[in-house]
Amino acid sequence: MDTSIHWFDGLIIVVYLSLMLGMGLYFARRQTNTDRYFIAGKTLPSWAIGLSILATLISSVTFIAYPGQGFASNWILLVQGLMVPVVLIFLVWFIVPLFRGAIGLSAYEYFEKRFGIFARIYASLAFAMAHFSKMGTVFFLLALVLSSMLGVDITLLIIFLGIAVVVYTLIGGIEAVVWSDVIQGILLLAGGLVCIFVLFFTLPIGGGELVRVAWEAGKIDFGPYDWDLAKLTFIVMVLNGFFYGIHKYGTDQTIVQRYLAARSDRDAIRASLVGVFLCVPVWALFMFIGSLLYGYYTSSVAELPPDTRADAVFPYFIMTELPIGITGIIFAGLIAAAFSSLDSDLNSLAAVSVEDYYKRFGNNVDDRAALRFSRIMVVIFGAASIAIAMYYVHADNETILAIIFTFYAIFSGGIAGLFLLGVCTRRANKQGLYVGIVATVLFTGWALLTSTPLVPGSDPVLDLGRFNYGHHSYMLGVYSHLVLFGVGYTASLFFKSEDPAANLTIHAWLAKRRGRAAE
């Protein structure tokens, strides 16, 4: 079949890219200070912020890697996403007013107020490292698809796409990010629904038969369900997802920044709930597409080219089975998915750089200088993420979704445990936290050196025999948080207690709610 793009599909993509650039130019004239550049002067409506959260969380990792996972394995990696609304429904009522009342811009300012400057630096560095790995993944997946479609070198595409997203994020600030995210989220969802329609109603084999084949092959399943923490099991992903939800919605600057951009606490809470409860069906939608593609390409109706990697199955289907015009819309949705995540990360990384480092350690930094520094950092972080994407070009056959989940487990650095230590306990202090951080770093180093989470089948760097880390690499994203919380709290008992400010823990919030209930 012909896998080259039709000129009309290409035109749709060009129109979309032009629209994104135009949006950046439209909002550029408003970006006169850092307050406007990073939180839009707290003027954004809740529905737009909710759709922006949706778009931020469903990047091209969702568009390509989730169908790839659904095709190659089953839905087990979706379990992490299913845990997010469970966690958020308990946390959002406290987290939103906490951050809107305790910080100016950076989520990590909270950690300094609670535990001192070292906690702030540690948390912000962990955020930066985790998002570098994620941004590189997003760049790579997008370039991978477009490379096969256009026949252009993937390295050149990574560079071109990097420049494109940096430019409109650079000039438009958070307003361009959020409003473009609204368009991008709608495009992504529409693209997924169109593909489901095609798979069910326009192919030689019916949708019911595709579901049957996928079901019998175990593709629509969340197993295995045994309690083996050394393997990728349901319980491993439940535990990983629990801490991922706390980490993402309690400490991640891309989300916290959206809390701050809302007009009120109520609007920010509403936006968070809208974004998360839209994400879950979208994640499931793209996993389902992968399962249906398995049914289609294992039937006698169609077959894949030899050596097609799982992450490339969905792009191949788009190019060979969808009609002209629809293909262009789908690929515009793919680009939208990537850009909606990348622009958020770039803007948030710049915000952290300005608030946690430039202003924090600078002498009387004026806002104009801070705004200029923000834009410089957007460019620097964009270039760094492009370099990470280059690494993926040479990665082995392990699925990209598995790689990014492993990077999250490594770079999360116990931050969810740090957050829980700060908000849930009065007794924890900075001396105890420092001991907890040292223990977490030592634990993570031991686990990485005595196992090989990114090189399956190879020998560990440090072989300690039965003292090697023996559990699944995703469990690093659980244990690091537990180690920091447990060691940090226990160590705090050996140092003088210092009561934190009333607005920094959940206890004051609960007391306030009880007072309202008694009135």
Q: Which amino acid is at 330?
A: I
Helix axes 265-297, 313-321, angle to 10 degrees: 80
Q: What is the spatial distance between Cα 469 and Cα 452, in angstroms, rounded to a whole number?
A: 9
Least confident of 21-35, 248-262, 385-399: 385-399
Phi-psi region of 203 (alpha: psi -120 to 50; beta: other; left: phi over 0): beta
The confidence score (pLDDT) of residue 397 equals 43
Q: What is the pLDDT of residues 129-172, one digit of tens each?
A: 777 777 877 788 788 777 877 777 888 888 888 888 888 888 88
d(CA 38, CA 45): 15
Is residue 379 very low, low, confident or very high in pLDDT (cuts 50, 70, 90)? very high
Closest residue by Cα to residue 140 from 128, 123, 158, 153? 158
355 or 412, which is more confident?
A: 355
Listed ranges 211-220, 359-368, 399-408; the one with the highest mean pLDDT:
211-220
Predicted confidence at residue 403, as pLDDT, reads: 57
Q: pLDDT tens digit string along 389-406? A: 887 777 654 555 455 555
List Cα–Cα distances, 401 to 53, 209, 331, 355, in angstroms. Answer: 20, 27, 20, 31
Ramachandran sector of residue 131 (left: φ over 0; alpha: ψ -120 to 50; beta: rest) = alpha
Q: Quick one: 341 exposed, middle or buried, by C-beta within 10 A (0-12, 13-18, 19+)? A: buried
Selected residue with higher pLDDT from 212 and 463: 212
d(CA 420, CA 469): 25
Instruction: Considering only residues 222 and 464, tell me which one the structure prediction assigns the higher pLDDT.
Output: 222
Three-state SS at 478: helix
- At residue 458 the predicted structure's pLDDT band, cuts being 50, 70 and 90, is low
User: What percentage of residues in the chain have a pLDDT greater than 70?
Assistant: 92
Domain architecture of the chain: domains with CATH? 7-395 (1.20.1730.10), 413-519 (no CATH)
Rounded (10°) CA dihedral 285, 244, 426, 129 = -130
Q: Cα-flanking dihedrals φ and ψ of residue 365, to 5°? A: -75, 125
Answer for the pair 353, 373: CB distance below 8 angstroms, yes or no.
Answer: yes
Q: How far apart are CA 350 and CA 371, in angstroms?
A: 10
Is 134 in contact with 393 (CB distance < 8 Å)? no
Tell me the pLDDT tens digit for each residue of 61-117.
Answer: 677 778 989 999 999 989 988 998 888 888 888 899 889 988 888 999 999 999 999
Rounded to 5°, angle at Cα 469 from 465 and 474:
155
pLDDT at 2: 52
* Residue 517 confidence class, pLDDT cut points 50, 70, 90: low
pLDDT digits (tens, 9 = 90+) for 405-416: 555 556 567 899
Mean pLDDT of 435-454: 82
257-309: pLDDT as tens digits: 999 999 999 999 999 999 888 888 889 999 999 999 999 998 877 888 888 88
Whats the size of the chain, residue-wise?
A: 519
Mean residue pLDDT of the chain comes to 84
- In this structure, of 183-187, 258-262, 331-335, 514-518, the range with the lowest mean pLDDT score is 514-518
How many CA atoms lie less than 13 Å away from 198 in the CB half-sphere? 20
Confidence of residue 436 (pLDDT cuts 50, 70, 90): very high
- Cα 476 to Cα 69: distance, rounded to the nearest angstrom: 21
